[in-house]
Amino acid sequence: MKFKEHLSKTHQEKREKLWKEIEKKVNIIRNFIDLIFSFDFETSTEEIERKLNDFFEDMQNRFPSEMRKEFQKCKELLDEREKLLEELRQYYEVSDEKTMILLLIALKSKRDKKSKKAKDLMEKIIDIRIKLEDFLKNSDITFIIYLYLIIKNLKEKNQKVKEIYEKYQTTGELEYLPLKVQKKLEILKKGIVDIIFEPFTVIILLKPDVWQSVYKKRQGVYYHDSPYALVKFQKDVKDISGIIGHERIHNLLEGITKIKTGDIGYFENVEMFLDKINQDLDALETLGIGTTFLKERIKKKIKQLINAVHYEIVANLHRIIKDLVTFLESLDNQKIDKRVLKRIVYLSGTGKYLIKFMIELSERINRIDSRFANDELKRESLKKFYNEIKKIIKSDLLKTVINLLEMVDFISSTKDEKKAQELLITSLILALIFKPTQYHHILEYLKREIEQDTQTYSKEKE
């Protein structure tokens, strides 16, 4: 065999192995979704916990033993991190890593016993995060640990929902209400249309006028560290089910977002990520555009920015797909870039962080003339660099949207309705497994699935 042919065959074998691994993960998540939707509110907490534990045990056994050992090490770190956070909360109110870092900065110059103890705890937590980042560089360990966190979150949420329901049935009061809701409770109580109890979520539907007075333009809100989702009541069943579905996904995936792994992992704390970029931009304006290492670091982070909104994309995906299906019916190929970008960017959630950052970037550009009026070289260099950053963000967002559009187009062209529905579920799962910058693989996988079905059908006919 010639060297070139051998190389090509090796590449194909590696690629086939990779697709097999992805297929395994798709089937695991598909089974997990089926399990979640098999529960109703009447299912006992004990049964839900047992079935979730059995599922996780079975899932682990589908991976090599070394991966399971690595997961155990990772789990020990997560347990240790949770203990340290609980201890830290005895001294200060800390809800997430962002508030912890702000607290660490605030206590930097303090020398009292309480501050010293809190600083020691926070430094240990940060050390654990660094170790976790190393583990999460492996996609298999990441997959296992994220499923573990989702399941852990679901078990905790189910327990809370049951307690909330029992208390509500006996006293008419809602337990575990988030502090922000408690502060507005007297206003909100006047507008309650219905309270829906699900296995993992408590959904409160509010009258439009009461909703408007508190939440303005938003349609729904999910409160972290609680099972509560508040939704504006809509007469159209489809509209309200879409909003409930969005907030439900936020609730179900919260176990992942709690890990807050910085630049590593599928889901990022977007605000923290943007804060880091803005800090680097401030430093660049102070130190000067000639600071090459800083420019490169900013560019690297900007290229990761589309992945930082992965969590929002996943939560909005069912609405994005619905919008793209409608869009396909009147698509003008000559205007694809502007029209697709405009449609997708204004969907609630997905684009808001990017839009906010783009506005802030434009404001920076507008300030440059007055701030560096006497330094033309610095002024023009900064403008050029900032406009370059804006182009990268627009390009990455556009590529992600076009990849989703091609995916929807392919599914829509499938004549078999049952198969089209299967492909849609598969694509939603793949959108969770892949990062937005990897979404071009989704269409490739769907085509591969169709090809395999065709081959199986041909063999059966023979």
In a domain, 264, yes or no: no
Residue 134 pLDDT grade (very low, low, confident, very high; cuts 50, 70, 90): confident
Cα 248 to Cα 222: distance, rounded to the nearest angstrom:
8
How much is the average pLDDT of 356-371?
84
Cα 6 to Cα 11: distance, rounded to the nearest angstrom:
9
- In the listed set 125, 157, 189, which residue is the last one of a domain according to the structure? 157
The whole domain housing 442 covers 270-461
* Number of structural domains in the chain: 3
> Are 351 and 388 part of one and the same domain?
yes
In a domain, 164, yes or no: no
Q: In the numeric block, which tokens belong to residue 277? A: 């970029």
Cα 462 to Cα 457: distance, rounded to the nearest angstrom:
9
- Lowest mean per-residue pLDDT among 53-57, 156-160, 243-247: 243-247
In a domain, 261, yes or no: no
- In sequence order, which residues have a C-beta less than 8 Å from that of residue 235 and are 6 or more positions away? none
> Are 298 and 430 part of one and the same domain?
yes
> Are 87 and 195 part of one and the same domain?
no
**Residue in the block written with tokens 């395994």:** 24
Query: 228 has which bridge partners?
Result: 202
Question: Considering the chain, what is the average pLDDT of its residues?
Answer: 79
> Are 152 and 216 part of one and the same domain?
no
Mean pLDDT comparison of 26-35, 134-143, 156-165, 289-298, highest-scoring range: 156-165
Helix (H, G, I), strand (E, B) or coil at 267: coil
- In the listed set 157, 183, 200, which residue is the last one of a domain according to the structure? 157
Q: Which tens digit of pLDDT belongs to each residue from 376-385?
A: 888 888 888 8
Number of H helices, E strands in the chain: 19, 4
How much is the average pLDDT of 128-155?
85
Q: Which tens digit of pLDDT belongs to each residue from 301-321?
A: 888 777 777 766 776 666 666
Q: Has residue 98 got a pLDDT over 70?
A: no
In a domain, 163, yes or no: no
**DSSP 8-state class, residue 221:** E
> Are 34 and 113 part of one and the same domain?
yes
> Are 284 and 400 part of one and the same domain?
yes
